[in-house]
A and B are shown apart, each in its own frame.
Chain A
Amino acid sequence: MDRYSRQQLFAPIGERGQQHIREKHVLVIGAGALGAANAETLVRAGIGKITIIDRDYVEWSNLQRQQLYTEEDATNRLPKAIAAAMRLRAINGDVVVEPIVADADACLLEQVVARERPHVIIDSTDNFDVRMIINDVSQKYDVPWIYGACVGSYGLSYVIVPNETPCLRCLLEEVPLGNATCDTVGIISPVVHMVVAHQTAEALKICVHAQVNRKLVSFDIWHGQYRMIDVHKLKKDDCPSCSERRTYPALQYENETKFAVLCGRETVQIRPAHRGEREWTTLLSFLTKRGIQVEQNDYLLSFTVDSHRFVVFSDGRVLIHGTNDVQEAKRLYYQYLG
């Protein structure tokens, strides 16, 4: 096929490797800057299937670096997974694209990985809670995953192969607090692409059964630093995620409504304990009666009360913009949606 001729000319891939890529399924978690770029690269490379999970919708501040999205997507507040899937299908119609609009929590990730059995999971998330879940799911279902993260002009990447490399919990004794790394520092697009270049190169190697890079790579693209560190000695014999005495701590699901402040966004996310479709009609009539204007598409509805904007997803989740205060968010949530 002429489409992949340049990639096939590259000897470590070749025609055989291209066939392997065609048979592989990748799970991309997150459809922000990292997710969009990872997905586009792998779809252009001719991956067989891609599943992309994201909980958020497209906003104007995303367009600077989240390459799959357009102004129209931002105007329509399209869920990122949906907007990404439309664009990815337009780029390469041979690829099966499966978007999932949901929060990548332990419950959902286990379900998806157990059902789909992807060949590799690509981390494109923005917090360590999810990464620890990915880390445990990867060990439990024996699927390699590729960590990638960036902030400012600094980024890093590392491939975790179950039974071969130390896992993320071996390297990190504690989950870093989000504050130091969030939107306060900003981010430039080139470092996103540097992280993605490493993640997709390793993903392609996994697809063609080549040896992955075992080193932790980190770089600062503005200050010209680049280093690789051999971390194999950090594998822990008593790691709760990857040792023989594993308990998968990130998969212990507590069944309660969760309120989480979204880093740097003046937003609180609420995840109700009971899953399933949220009932729209009651909410709609309630809001209309109060003269509150509601905007709606197939996936979410949003409305503003005082200075707070509520975004209600059909899977039950709610975002309340305009507050960093969990208590205030709880009050507002139970006031309007509880």
Chain B
Amino acid sequence: MRCIINGEMIDLPAHIRTVAQLLQHFRIHEKIAIVEINANIIMKETYEHTAIADGDRIEIVHFVGGG
């Protein structure tokens, strides 16, 4: 599956089908990430059953603490 993640075309391994799996793949802790797919924000409690599809434009924002 190919998705545009944070503006970059990325080939994802076949086993990644949900937002939760996607975050795990990038080692981003789900509770501190904000995910938008095709300009729709995804509620955290639905990460496990929100499917991602070929060609999706996905934005992942993670919070950092530095300053």
Which residues of B pack against A, CB within 8 Å?
6-7, 29, 31-32, 34, 36, 41, 43-44, 59, 61, 63-67
Contact = CB atoms under 8 A, between A and B. Distances in A.
B67 A124 contact: yes
Contact of B32 (A123, A172, A182, A229): A172
Contacts of B61: 156, 216, 218, 227, 229
Given A227-B6, A229-B59, A156 B64 contact: yes
**5 closest cross-chain pairs (CB), A and B:** A151-B66, A173-B31, A34-B67, A174-B31, A181-B64
Contact of B64 (A151, A174, A227): A151
Contact of A216 (B34, B43, B66): B34
A173 B41 contact: no
A227 B41 CA distance: 13
Contacts, number: 84
Interface residues on A, range: 35 or more
Determine chain A's interface SS by DSSP, over half rule.
mixed
A301 B21 CA distance: 52
B66 A181 contact: yes
Contacts of B32: 172-174, 176
B67 A32 contact: yes
A176 B66 contact: no
Contacts of A127: 65
Contact of B7 (A171, A225, A234): A225
25 contacts: A32-B67, A35-B67, A125-B67, A126-B65, A126-B66, A148-B67, A150-B67, A151-B65, A154-B64, A156-B61, A172-B63, A173-B31, A173-B32, A176-B32, A176-B64, A178-B65, A181-B64, A192-B67, A216-B34, A216-B61, A227-B7, A227-B59, A229-B61, A234-B34, A263-B65
A126 B67 contact: yes
A55 to B, nearest CB: 14
A125 B67 CA distance: 6
A231 B31 CA distance: 15
Contacts of B63: 128, 149, 156, 171-172, 176
Contacts of B7: 225, 227
Given A225-B6, A233-B41, A171 B67 contact: no
A33 interface: yes
B41 A234 contact: yes
Nearest to A183: B66
A319 to B, nearest CB: 18
Contacts of B43: 233-234
